[in-house]
Amino acid sequence: MTRGRRARAAGDRRLETLTRELLTIVGEDPAREGLRRTPGRVARAWRELTAGYGTDLKRLVNGAVFSAPDSEMVVVSDIQFYSLCEHHLLPFFGKVHVAYIPDGRIIGLSKIPRLVEAYARRLQVQEHLTSQLAAALEEAIAPQGVGVIVEARHLCMEMRGARSIESPTKTSAMRGIFRSDARTRKEFLDLLQHQSR
C-alpha cells in the first residue's frame, strides 16, 4: 500500500470514529441496525464531497488549451454543482454560467464543468467559488475577459437559521472586458435571459 493510500485509509478510519462520536452526542446508538454501517458511508461520502482538494488544477486543464484566432464570446451555461458551506457543513447547490472572450487561446469545453466540479468539491462559500472560477480561467487561457455567474440554494439558510425557503443567492465575477465594457456584459446577461425563457 502506497503512503498516500495509507494516509487516506487512516483518515477514513478517523472519520468513522468521529461519526460514531457524533451519533452518540446527538443521542443515537451507533450500534443499532440502521446506523451500524453509517460511519463507513459517511467517510466515503466525505471523501467524495471533498475530492476537489486532491485535484491538480494544472493537470486538469493540461493539453486542452488550443490556439485560435477567434474573439467571439464562448458561453457554457447551466453547469450543475453541489458544494458544502464552510460555515455549517451543509450543502449548497445550483448552476454556474461561464463566458469568456478568447485572446488567441481557447479551452476545451469539457474542462469548464470539470473546473466547476474541482472547486465545488471543497468546503466553500459561494462568493469564493465564483471568483476562483474566474481566476482559474484567466490563468489557464488569459482571455480578453471572463464572466462567471453562480446561482445557488443554501440549505444552511433553508433548513436552519433564517429558514428562507427557495431564496437563491446570485453572485458574479466580471473580469477584463466583461467589467470594462457594458455592452459585452449585457450580451452575456442577455444570452442567459434568452436561454431561461
Catalytic residue among 21, 86, 127, 139: 86
Which is nearest to 136 in space by CA: 154, 151, 156, 122?
Answer: 122
Catalytic residue among 28, 88, 128, 158: 88
Catalytic residue among 124, 126, 132, 144: 126
Does residue 158 carry a catalytic annotation? no
Does residue 88 carry a catalytic annotation? yes
Going from the C-alpha of 39 to that of each of 19, 53, 88, 91, the distances in angstroms are: 5, 21, 19, 19
Does residue 128 carry a catalytic annotation? no
Does residue 86 carry a catalytic annotation? yes
Catalytic residue among 28, 128, 138, 156: 156
Does residue 154 carry a catalytic annotation? yes
Does residue 166 carry a catalytic annotation? no
User: What dihedral do alpha carbons 60, 63, 65, 66 form, nearest 10°?
Assistant: -160
Instruction: Please give the grid coordinates belonging to residue 192.
Output: 442567459
Catalytic residue among 87, 139, 193, 195: 87
Catalytic residue among 117, 124, 144, 154: 154
Q: Which residues touch 131 (CB under 8 Å, ≥6 apart)?
A: 148, 173
Query: Which residues form the catalytic set?
Result: 85-88, 126, 154, 156
